Chains A and B, each alone.
Chain A
Amino acid sequence: MKNNSPIKGGIGKSFIISSLGTCLAGRGKRVVLVDADLGGANLHSLLGIGRPKASLTEFFDKKVPLAELVVPSGIDNLGLLTGAIGSLDPDHIKYTQKIKFFNHIKKINADFILIDLGAGTHFNTIDTFLLADKLIVVTVPEITAIENLYFFLKNTFFRKIALACTEHGLKEILRKAWFDRRRHNIQNFTEFLTHLGGLSKRLEQIINNQLETFTIQIVLNQVRHNKDIVIGNSIRSVCKKYYSLRSNYVGYIEHDDIVSRCINHRHPFMKAYPASRCAREIERVADNILENKQVSV
């Protein structure tokens, strides 16, 4: 993920979201890309433009309306709302600021709002993630990335349960169940959910509701061998069988050296190589997400 290794860059979250944005904009949709990676915003680089002067810092510090901070990206129909490198510690965003930020994001006038999040499982990251109608995650065929993905999904779903419990005034019961988990010999995610659901009919209903309304869209990036394509299917199966979590495997992107060359030369990839295999794979990911379809292998 972004901060994992300075040599390798990331697993390609920003590349994929900026490409998806470019792809949707190319179809005539009005798209706003929100770079909410508050620690390391760099979507502008992927779009081939300089760092915009307007950034989310102004929203948080000077209360400038969010809509005024959207700048042209150099690509028709595609606006960019950028984060603020280093100047904003995600820990210092107050709860009220966060709610205001969410409300303003929802009010942005566009067909699609794509939010790029930093790596990690900070609750601000997770809460922003949970805002979305389509929850997209990116991983690569590497054991560490896949492990991080499971960790992220578990944390995210717990957060979703916690928010729902708070809403129903059951926060204390959840907190108690969590502290008592060792005493009940609870070893893992599924056992905890089962235990929690067994505490009351109401909790069981909440958990089932939350499971019903949680579907992850999995994108597998940097595929180097054909045999790796099915890793997406495997992850999907594991999410269901181990965690009861639903997901769609919406596509894979093959590794191609021209991608990193484009990024280094600040050429937006989808504009530079629209007919390349990667670009076609991105288009298919967009189609699958929009049409609720999956890769068939």
Chain B
Amino acid sequence: MNGDDSREYYEILELRVDASPADIRKSYLFLKNLYSSESIVTIPLEDELSPDAKERLVEQIEEAYQRLAAATEQRRPAAPRRERRQSPEVDSDGGFTGPILRQIREQLDIGIQDLALATHIQTQYLENIEEENFAALPVYVYTRGYVANYAKHLGLDPQRVASDYMSRFSASRQGN
């Protein structure tokens, strides 16, 4: 990808070229949702853009995100080769397990310390979440809050991630 292309992708995602991987993902999810659903902001614009043009807009957003996400991975040679992420749906294949959450975090290039700072959750808990070390995690409501917060900072749907994760948490606690 040359510089001009990548500048264009950043522009499509309405970001500065120094945007972090987490910002890229956040903006992508926001824009994709904005232009693939109807809201009070887009309904008045029906005459402005044909359905085709609107579809193209969503495709552009999708493409810009895929290219920028792929470029981010190329910049980190130390990381093991992984499947290129397609969209948030693919991330959740097999559920939002601790290891999957860690994988997404690493793909987004977010360090555990940075996440701790951003979420105000202790690193130790974040690690326990990623290792699914349920016994070392606090009671249900707190853990659920932590997981939702963790998901939110990765640009994931907090509700979906939390309910998926907490089903395994509950099962493990009942098992004891």
A and B: interacting chains: yes
Residues of chain A at the chain B interface (Cβ within 8 Å): 141-143, 146-147, 150, 187-190, 230-231, 233-238, 240-243
CB distance from A212 to the nearest CB of B (A): 15
Closest 5 CB pairs of A and B: A147-B44, A234-B41, A143-B40, A188-B48, A242-B48
Q: Is B110 an interface residue (CB 8 A)?
A: no
In the complex, the answer to whether B44 meets A188 with C-beta atoms within 8 Å is no
In the complex, the answer to whether A241 meets B57 with C-beta atoms within 8 Å is yes
CB distance from B54 to the nearest CB of A (A): 10
Bound state CA distance, A255 and B41, in angstroms?
19
In the complex, the answer to whether B40 meets A142 with C-beta atoms within 8 Å is yes
Kindly identify which residue among B34, B41, B44, B48 contacts A189, using a CB–CB cutoff of 8 Å.
Answer: B48
Cβ-Cβ contact count across A and B, 8 Å cutoff: 42
Q: What are 8 A-B interface contacts by the 8 Å CB criterion?
A: A143-B40, A147-B44, A150-B45, A187-B47, A236-B14, A238-B41, A238-B42, A241-B35
Q: Is B176 an interface residue (CB 8 A)?
A: no
In the complex, the answer to whether B49 meets A237 with C-beta atoms within 8 Å is no
Residues of chain B at the chain A interface (Cβ within 8 Å): 14, 30-31, 34-35, 39-45, 47-50, 57
The residue on B at minimum CB distance from A145 is: B40
CB distance from B159 to the nearest CB of A (A): 13
In the complex, the answer to whether A233 meets B49 with C-beta atoms within 8 Å is no
Q: Which residues of A contact B45 (CB under 8 A)?
A: 150, 238, 242
Among B34, B47, B48, B50, the one with the most A-chain Cβ atoms within 10 Å of its Cβ is: B48
* Known contacts A143-B40, A143-B43, A241-B57; is-contact A234 B48 (Cβ 8 Å): no
Bound state CA distance, A147 and B30, in angstroms?
21
Q: Which residues of B contact A187 (CB under 8 A)?
A: 47, 50
Bound state CA distance, A231 and B33, in angstroms?
12
In the complex, the answer to whether B41 meets A146 with C-beta atoms within 8 Å is yes
Bound state CA distance, A233 and B33, in angstroms?
12
Bound state CA distance, A242 and B54, in angstroms?
10
In the complex, the answer to whether B41 meets A188 with C-beta atoms within 8 Å is no
* Known contacts A188-B49, A237-B14; is-contact A150 B57 (Cβ 8 Å): no
* Known contacts A240-B14, A241-B57; is-contact A234 B47 (Cβ 8 Å): no
Kindly identify which residue among A150, A190, A240, A241 contacts B44, using a CB–CB cutoff of 8 Å.
Answer: A150
Bound state CA distance, A237 and B12, in angstroms?
10
In the complex, the answer to whether A235 meets B47 with C-beta atoms within 8 Å is no
The residue on A at minimum CB distance from B60 is: A241
Kindly identify which residue among B41, B43, B49 contacts A231, using a CB–CB cutoff of 8 Å.
Answer: B41
In the complex, the answer to whether B31 meets A242 with C-beta atoms within 8 Å is no
In the complex, the answer to whether B57 meets A146 with C-beta atoms within 8 Å is no
> A143-B43, A238-B34, A241-B35 known; 14 other A-B pairs, CB under 8 Å?
A142-B40, A143-B44, A146-B41, A146-B44, A187-B50, A188-B48, A189-B48, A190-B48, A234-B34, A234-B41, A235-B41, A241-B57, A242-B48, A243-B48
Q: Which residues of B contact A143 (CB under 8 A)?
A: 40, 43-44
Bound state CA distance, A141 and B48, in angstroms?
20
Q: Which residues of A contact B39 (CB under 8 A)?
A: 234
Bound state CA distance, A189 and B31, in angstroms?
21
Bound state CA distance, A246 and B45, in angstroms?
17
The residue on A at minimum CB distance from B23 is: A296
CB distance from A243 to the nearest CB of B (A): 8
Bound state CA distance, A155 and B44, in angstroms?
16
